[in-house]
Structure 1
Amino acid sequence: MNTAEIHVEVAPELALFVPQERRRGATRLATDGVSTLGHVVESLGVPLTEVGELVVDGRPVPTGHVPRDGERVGVRAVTRPQRVPGAPLRFLLDVHLGTLARRLRLLGVDTAYESTDIGDPALAARSAAEQRVMLSRDRGLLRRRELWAGAFVYSTRPDEQLQDVLDRFRPELRPWTRCTACNGLLKEATKEEVADRLEAGTQRTYDVFAQCGECGRAYWKGAHHEQLEAIVERALAEFPQRG
């Protein structure tokens, strides 16, 4: 087996994925001489979903490139905003990102979410079947080859998670058009149409309602409306919509 020693420099944005000693400039790395550069980068801890470009001796190369002795490799982060070709932009979130899922739905972004742990193979299969971008903090899940597309969620704070996803993908925002519980589309509803889903106090206090076309859940401007409106206004201010 012909081994090779290369020099690898990881972009600062990706530093959290690699050991401390590889976070400052180019460092030496011994390879087996047969593994692809994509495999080598993943072995360092960097999910390929986070790699925008691989550069060898100043020229871009595909993930299938087999590094040769003495090559200098640059691992660059995804360029933002990231364009996802193919299907309309939509997401799939794993069990740990429930708050982020509800906030994306509040903004009208097509967001599927698994509230139970169905396992990485099933999540990856759903991402592929429905052509959804898998959002997760699980690096192992993001390394699965079945994924249609994926992205690492960098923060554990919902506000920062939402800002990061909106900044990275710039999805079209259509607030108040999706059910935060099931992702179904909302439609205007009369008080009579949703009366069986309302408490007496709600029926007396509110007159404007919406209802999910999928699960039937009723919506109105209740006690938490100001908090939700603040999330919407902040998102629209930071990421204004075209037209």
Structure 2
Amino acid sequence: MNGPEIHLTLAPELHLFAAPGLRAPRARTVTDGSSSLGHVVESVGVPLTEVGRLLVDGREVDTAHVPAAGESVEVHGVDRPQRVPGAPLRFLLDVHLGTLARRLRLLGVDAAYESEDIGDPALATRSAAERRVLLSRDRGLLRRRELWAGGYVYSDRPEEQLRDVLGRFAPVLAPWTRCTACNGLLHEADKEALGDRIEDGTQRSYDVFAQCGDCDRAYWRGAHHARLEALVTEALAEFGPASAR
């Protein structure tokens, strides 16, 4: 860009997206004099999915504002919890977030997941077609114009990713109601009706079963249940109805 110079202040949580020289308060940057503020913010590396209020010389503006020479621009992060227009709240996760998808499903959150890399255009298009919030650590993907809504996943650790998403979007939690394999809804199942879907030893050891209405996968409280129960209990304690979010 080669035009008016403005002063840009990024919220601390947005610093990771920008070059070091743009992380200081009132960092100087040059615009082309015609691009919108949204374009300017994206040009310094910040996806608009991560941007909340935009203030120019103390007054709030939208992304269409065209910065003029000498203006001071403050870029704030999104408010938490972030309210996404429309209902119900649903997510779409890219190929790198399989563990996060399964944990969200465990908590009853509608979380579609692409287990293969179908490409950025297809992911963004699905987000728009199904009105799903696209979760990704790919900054370029979150800048695609066809995207309906999105959120950057800040950590590469699944437990921190889960807390980040639950704290940011505050989805309604309904544990044990979704299939962790395909995202379908679970229903109670009679073990006799499950037949050869479960082994004889499992039939003798357990009485309570559930089954996915989409992929027919069977569920019971097996060896890993205690670990999953701990994850659910911790999430409900912090992000469930009792937290009055």
Q: TM-score range by the shorter chain?
A: over 0.9
Instruction: Give the distance between the partners of 1:69 and 1:25, measured in 2 at CA.
Output: 17
Query: Tell me, what secondary structure is at the counterpart of 2:188?
Result: strand
The equivalent residue for 1:22 is 22
The equivalent residue for 1:143 is 143
Counting matched residue pairs gives 243
Q: Which amino acid aligns with 1:104?
A: L
Instruction: Give the distance between the partners of 1:234 and 1:128, measured in 2 at CA.
Output: 32
Identity of aligned residues (%): 73
Query: Tell me, what secondary structure is at the counterpart of 1:55?
Result: strand
Q: Which amino acid aligns with 2:230?
A: A
TM normalised by structure 2 equals: 0.97
Instruction: Give the distance between the partners of 1:124 and 1:222, measured in 2 at CA.
Output: 37
Instruction: Give the distance between the partners of 1:97 and 1:106, measured in 2 at CA.
Output: 14
Are 2:187 and 2:210, in contact at CA under 8 Å, matched by a contact in 1?
Answer: yes
The equivalent residue for 2:130 is 130
In the alignment, does 2:235 pair up with 1:210? Answer: no
Q: Displacement of 1:21 after TM fit?
A: 2.0
Instruction: Give the distance between the partners of 2:162 and 2:183, measured in 1 at CA.
Output: 16
Q: Which amino acid aligns with 2:67?
A: P
Instruction: Give the distance between the partners of 2:71 and 2:56, measured in 1 at CA.
Output: 6
Structure 1 residue ranges without an equivalent (≥5)? none
Q: Which amino acid aligns with 1:61?
A: V
The equivalent residue for 2:63 is 63
Q: Displacement of 1:89 after TM fit?
A: 0.4
Structure 2 residue ranges without an equivalent (≥5)? none
Deviation string, structure 1 residues 205-239 (Cα, Å, up to 9, x no partner): 11110000000000000010001001100000011
The equivalent residue for 2:106 is 106
The equivalent residue for 1:49 is 49
Q: Which amino acid aligns with 2:157?
A: R
Deviation string, structure 1 residues 82-106 (Cα, Å, up to 9, x no partner): 0001131010000000000000000
Map 1:156-235 onto structure 2 (within 5 A): 156-235=156-235
Instruction: Give the distance between the partners of 2:192 and 2:44, measured in 1 at CA.
Output: 59
Instruction: Give the distance between the partners of 1:9 and 1:177, measured in 2 at CA.
Output: 44
Q: Displacement of 1:2 after TM fit?
A: 7.9
Divergent runs of 4+, >6 A: none
Q: Which amino acid aligns with 1:11?
A: A
Deviation string, structure 1 residues 114-160 (Cα, Å, up to 9, x no partner): 00000011001100000000000001110011111000000000000
